[in-house]
Structure 1
Amino acid sequence: MLWKAQLITHRKEKRIAVFFEKDAELISRIKQLEGSRWSQTLGVWHLPDTFEYRIKFKIHSTPKVLPSTEGILHIQKFKHWLLSKRYSDRTITTYTEALKVFLSFYREKPITTITNDDVIRFNNEYILEHQLSSSYQNQMVNAIKLYFATIIESKIEMDKIHRPKREKVLPNVLSKEEVKLILNAHSNRKHKMMLSLIYACGLRCGELLALQPLHIDSKRNIIMIKNAKGKKDRIVPLSPKILVLLRDYYTTFKPQTYLFEGNIKGQPYDSRSLQQVMKQALVKAGITKPATLHWLRHSFATHLLESGTDLRYIQELLGHNSSKTTEIYTHVSTKSIQQIKSPFDYL
């Protein structure tokens, strides 16, 4: 292993420090990870303490004590069930790693005797003891409930497994002026086209990179988003201005399989390279906010809401299952808030 990682507290914030010998390629790779920062004081690169990064850098995801033989067999059975249900590779990894942690904690206890009280004890003595995030705990609950509901009959009562109180974290949004600066920052047509399409259609990074020329329906002015998050297809409107840019881009680059390809024809553009494109745009535009590609998607939704678009349509465009997910944008829209006069103004 070329690196090692550990949890740290930096400026009163939980972070994941990544230690490695000075290497240009590794530095370039970690720079492209969302939320990465260099600490001059500590002399180390560090990342946000998220469930995904804990899995990626093997922090608490693989406990020192392994599950029992029974537990290992059940984890394998759970994995086979997830595969047969066609869960995504990422979800399968996340859920099996979570179950491995849980069953390792109860290595000496027969699985069929595990109860709801054991889940509460696990939350207190493992999750809280290690100061793990609520999102990590929520993923644990998802994995535990699905496992006990599908693989074995046990004393677990599914409806009584409680989740952590949801943190109210507002999405980060850029102003229209900031978005315009970002989209115009690159002179490279491909870079500009990718960032423009993410904002114009509210796409996720993976959805953009999975696009193929045949998904563009210029006659109906729509784009087909195929097999997106949750294995769902959806359509989004194609702006006339974007269509002009797309035709110019297509004539110049002549993509073969994917709409945006890297150095190898027929292969999709690299997601880490796309993140770097965004970072370079921020520097060129003189924007110091730690904006990411997903901020463009948040901005798309918020700007639509502020222009009067019905929330139900925004939900469809974003591909959200629940309207509650989309309603978060009502809390960052400034259309109504700006009309409120502060009592300070009347002093």
Structure 2
Amino acid sequence: MRKKPMVKLEFPYDFELKELVKTFPNCEWNRHEKAWCVPYTDDILDRLILFFKGKVWLDYSTFRKANLPKTFPELPPLALEIFKEIEAFQDWMKNKRYSESTVKTYRGSLEIFFRFLENKPLSEIKNEDLEKFTKDYIIDRQYSVSYQSQVINAIKLFFNIKQNRKLDPEVVSRPRKPSKLPNVLSKEEVKRILEAHKNIKHRTMLSIIYACGLRRSEVLHLKISDVDSKRGLLIVRQSKGKKDRVVPLSDKTIALLREYYKYERPQYFLFEGKKLNSKYSSGSLQKILKSALGKSGIKKPVTLHWLRHSFATHLLENGTDLRYIQEILGHNSSRTTEIYTHVTDNSIRKIKSPFDDL
């Protein structure tokens, strides 16, 4: 019988990374491969990128679709001269206060691009090289639109800053991104997830993500001083786009936070890790959600971001103005928030099908 295709996740031993990898849905240790493996699906690469985004850099240069009939040659190592240029570019990004995840992502994208070009001198790289990379590397390997845009962003910025020249914008324009609806849970499903844990800390962390529509990184960076219970506000500092914003705290949420504080007594971060004054780890938070899904019996591939999507959708269904939802979520553009209008069920369920009149 033919073995089912698997995706192997390889990395140097790191306890926190190992704990994070274990929380990926259906990920198991393979004794024969001596690696963590997940079942192959057509969307597995996109799911892995989404799962590990902002946590670790994912090198998927050797990844190939299970149904591809051909294999791809291994890319050569990076030349020292180009390595130094990328190092300098990385330092520039850090000085400009780019986020850690962006720095890692851009560096990884550039390394793949220059390795594909077999360390061609930077001064000789033309628009045709980028076209060839897009066709013979990204498209040929059937990589995602998100990956293609990521590489283009990195290359544009690198050549503009380090080489003081721009590649043709028409050649390096971003590919058209497919329009996907956000994943949304029903209120009943959310309640089952939030009530699955008896541990007050675990229950509070998941609850505040939904109650305030927070991103994973936002809840992990919350400090005790960010909770303003008298005014009923939560201050989310330096989030995506280096912006601060305030989020309303309901009486129910404040009561839960007070109960949690009396029991846990955190010192600096609202949700602390094992070490003194250290924030809770992303991998452990993922594990909390995975455990809650098991206890609640929900089989959907729920991620922490589903709770944020559900929060926004339920607000809209309750009649909250879209402009307020935009402010609470911290979206720059109202167009980003408008996607939730496509998944609300109040108006859609009122539409009567002509089938009923037959």
Using structure 1 for the length normalisation, give the TM-score.
0.86
Distance 1:61 1:268 in 2: 34
Are the aligned partners of 2:59 and 2:108 in contact in 1 as well (CA < 8 Å)? Answer: no
More relative contact order, 1 or 2 (CA 8 Å, 6+ apart): 2
Match of 2:136 in 1: 125
SS in 2 for 1:223: strand
SS in 2 for 1:247: helix
1:252 CA drift (Å): 1.5
Are the aligned partners of 1:112 and 1:154 in contact in 2 as well (CA < 8 Å)? Answer: no
1:108 CA drift (Å): 5.5
2:104 is aligned with 1:97? no
2:45 is aligned with 1:49? yes
Distance 2:141 2:321 in 1: 43
Match of 1:4 in 2: none
Unaligned stretches of 5+ residues in structure 2 = 64-73
Are the aligned partners of 2:20 and 2:284 in contact in 1 as well (CA < 8 Å)? Answer: no
Are the aligned partners of 2:160 and 2:166 in contact in 1 as well (CA < 8 Å)? Answer: no
1:79 CA drift (Å): 1.2
Match of 1:283 among 252, 270, 294: 294
2:192 is aligned with 1:191? no
Alignment of 1:161-180 (within 5 A): 161-180=172-191
Unaligned stretches of 5+ residues in structure 1 = 1-7
Match of 1:86 in 2: 97
2:256 is aligned with 1:245? yes
1:274 CA drift (Å): 1.5
1:126 CA drift (Å): 0.9
Decide which moves more: 235-244 or 253-262: 253-262
1:178 CA drift (Å): 0.9
1:322 CA drift (Å): 2.2
Distance 1:267 1:114 in 2: 45
Distance 1:98 1:219 in 2: 46
SS in 2 for 1:86: coil
SS in 1 for 2:238: strand
Distance 2:304 2:166 in 1: 44
- The CA RMSD measured in Å over matched residues stands at 2.9
Using structure 2 for the length normalisation, give the TM-score.
0.83
1:56 CA drift (Å): 4.0
Are the aligned partners of 2:89 and 2:158 in contact in 1 as well (CA < 8 Å)? Answer: yes
Aligned length: 331
Percent identical residues: 48
Are the aligned partners of 2:27 and 2:38 in contact in 1 as well (CA < 8 Å)? Answer: yes
Change (3 A) 1:140 1:61: farther
SS in 2 for 1:224: strand
Distance 1:221 1:192 in 2: 20
Match of 1:32 in 2: 23
Match of 1:209 among 215, 220, 226: 220
Match of 2:60 in 1: 59
Are the aligned partners of 1:114 and 1:154 in contact in 2 as well (CA < 8 Å)? Answer: no
Match of 1:3 in 2: none
1:342 CA drift (Å): 1.6
Amino acid at match of 1:30: V
SS in 2 for 1:228: coil
Are the aligned partners of 1:16 and 1:49 in contact in 2 as well (CA < 8 Å)? Answer: no
Distance 1:194 1:26 in 2: 20
Amino acid at match of 1:131: Q
SS in 2 for 1:336: helix
Change (3 A) 1:257 1:39: closer
SS in 1 for 2:244: strand
Change (3 A) 1:297 1:306: same
Match of 2:69 in 1: none
1:106 CA drift (Å): 2.4
SS in 1 for 2:346: coil
1:208 CA drift (Å): 0.8
Match of 1:228 in 2: 239
Change (3 A) 1:321 1:16: farther
1:156-199 per-residue CA deviation (whole Å, 9 max, x = no partner) reads: 22354221210112111000111111111222111111111110
1:215 CA drift (Å): 0.4
1:285 CA drift (Å): 1.7
Alignment of 1:278-317 (within 5 A): 278-317=289-328
1:133-175 per-residue CA deviation (whole Å, 9 max, x = no partner) reads: 1111110011011112211134622354221210112111000
Amino acid at match of 1:60: S
